């Protein structure tokens, strides 16, 4: 984790912003940088024939659909350029591709709730019982062809509701070529069912046009600084016990055996920070491990590489990146299967 004091380390331009309650920032979706993505979502729904389905979007603390509500919550920092930069520096800011991936996924949830699809026998037969217990820690079957692949971590396997939302997102994505990509997969039947459903419901009014929000930006009394420190504490609480046991010195020296005198040498911790998000994204995608675990692990490795004053060779960047990604993946999979990073 970044164990930093945001208020002290950010440029002066952030000082006044950090001290203000989020509800007083006047954040709105209309006219914000993220509004164009919502408009793109609506165009995609139109293109697929869902002309009566327009899920309302609102700013809140994280991506999501309140359970059973046909509305989409969008993180508030995406509506403000300075907040987005703060998110980029302290966490992992979503790029344009990721924003649309999340919007399509949440639109899948909203579609279910708007038309109460989860009550239909064929929906239950295709995806499973909606009332199945929801577990944040789930054990996916990697590479299963019974599920589409959209968000990282085999997310469709988490719950029938998530399975439908992921299937909807793949179906909605322009040029996803889902018929060809999923030919011969069990997941194809789900996509075909969704395609039939959309043709049937495209011109029908939703059973629920409006939904009830949970937390909106107008309700958020914490300051920006408090929000980020709270988020940081939550991630540490999830992952710190497993990371404390990690002693990567020997491994890191093997990965970065570069002399400081070499002309092409660069600080290893800077290299790790530069590629941090890409490594986290790919490890999360292929292992199914929770992002807070991977983020904390990467931060620990980056910090230790700096303390050891290790170097990378800029002419071997691809090799270093491949080895780091393989190393983090091996550690994460050991933790997922054994509950520890280091085995006796």
pLDDT (tens digit per residue) in 58-93: 999 999 998 899 999 999 999 999 899 888 877 778
- Residues 6 or more apart whose Cβ sits within 8 Å of residue 40: 100, 103
Are 174 and 79 found together in one domain?
Answer: yes
Rounded to 5 degrees, φ, ψ at 130 are: -65, -30
CA distance 274 to 151: 22
- Residue 308 tokens read as 């050891």
Are 126 and 192 found together in one domain?
Answer: yes
Asked whether residue 88 is domain-assigned, the answer is: yes
DSSP bridge pairs for 325: none
In terms of Cβ atoms closer than 10 Å to its own Cβ (0-12, 13-18, 19+), residue 10 is: buried
Torsion of CA 24, 28, 31, 35, to 10 degrees: 140
What is the per-residue pLDDT for 293? 85
Asked whether residue 67 is domain-assigned, the answer is: yes
The pLDDT tens digits for 136-162 are: 777 788 889 999 999 988 899 999 999
User: Of 149, 175, 201, which closes a domain?
Assistant: 201
Are 286 and 334 found together in one domain?
Answer: yes
User: Of 179, 201, 223, which closes a domain?
Assistant: 201
Domain of residue 330, residue span: 240-338
Are 131 and 280 found together in one domain?
Answer: no
Asked whether residue 214 is domain-assigned, the answer is: no
C-alpha to C-alpha distances, 317 to 168, 261, 300, 322, nearest whole angstrom: 38, 17, 20, 9
Are 50 and 138 found together in one domain?
Answer: yes
Are 246 and 174 found together in one domain?
Answer: no
Are 180 and 270 found together in one domain?
Answer: no
Are 119 and 50 found together in one domain?
Answer: yes
- pTM of the entire predicted model: 0.83
190 within 8 A of 217, measured Cβ to Cβ:
no
Asked whether residue 222 is domain-assigned, the answer is: no
Are 189 and 256 found together in one domain?
Answer: no
Give the number of domains in the chain.
2
């Amino acid at each position: 984790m970044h164990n930093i004091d945001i208020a002290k380390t950010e440029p002066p331009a952030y000082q006044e912003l950090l001290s203000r309650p989020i509800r007083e920032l006047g954040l709105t979706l209309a006219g914000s940088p993220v509004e164009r993505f919502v408009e793109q979502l609506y165009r995609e729904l139109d293109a697929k024939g869902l002309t009566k389905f327009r899920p309302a979007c609102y700013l809140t603390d994280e991506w999501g659909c309140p359970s059973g509500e046909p509305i989409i919550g969008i993180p508030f920092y995406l509506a403000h350029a300075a907040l987005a930069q703060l998110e980029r520096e302290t966490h992992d800011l979503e790029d344009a591709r990721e924003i649309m991936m999340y919007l399509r996924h949440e639109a899948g949830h909203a579609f279910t709730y708007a038309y109460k699809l989860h009550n239909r026998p064929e929906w239950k037969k295709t995806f499973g019982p909606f009332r199945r217990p929801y577990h944040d820690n789930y054990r996916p079957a990697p590479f299963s062809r019974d599920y589409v692949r959209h968000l990282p971590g085999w997310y469709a396997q988490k719950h029938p509701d998530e399975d439908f939302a992921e299937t909807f997102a793949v179906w909605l994505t322009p040029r996803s070529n889902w018929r060809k990509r999923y030919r011969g997969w069990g997941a194809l039947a789900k996509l075909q069912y969704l395609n039939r459903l959309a043709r049937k419901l495209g011109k029908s009014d939703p059973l629920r046009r409006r939904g009830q929000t949970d937390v909106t930006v107008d309700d958020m009394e914490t300051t920006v600084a408090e929000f980020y420190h709270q988020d940081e504490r939550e991630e540490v609480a999830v992952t710190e016990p497993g990371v404390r046991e990690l002693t990567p010195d020997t491994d890191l020296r093997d990965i970065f055996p570069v002399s400081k005198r070499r002309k092409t040498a660069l600080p290893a911790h800077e290299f790790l920070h530069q590629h941090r998000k890409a490594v986290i994204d790919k490890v999360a995608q292929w292992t199914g491990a929770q992002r807070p675990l991977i983020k904390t692990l990467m931060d620990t490795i980056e910090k230790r590489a700096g303390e050891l004053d290790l170097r990378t060779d800029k002419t071997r960047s691809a090799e270093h990146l491949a080895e780091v990604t393989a190393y983090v993946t091996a550690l994460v999979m050991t933790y997922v299967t054994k509950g520890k990073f280091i085995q006796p």
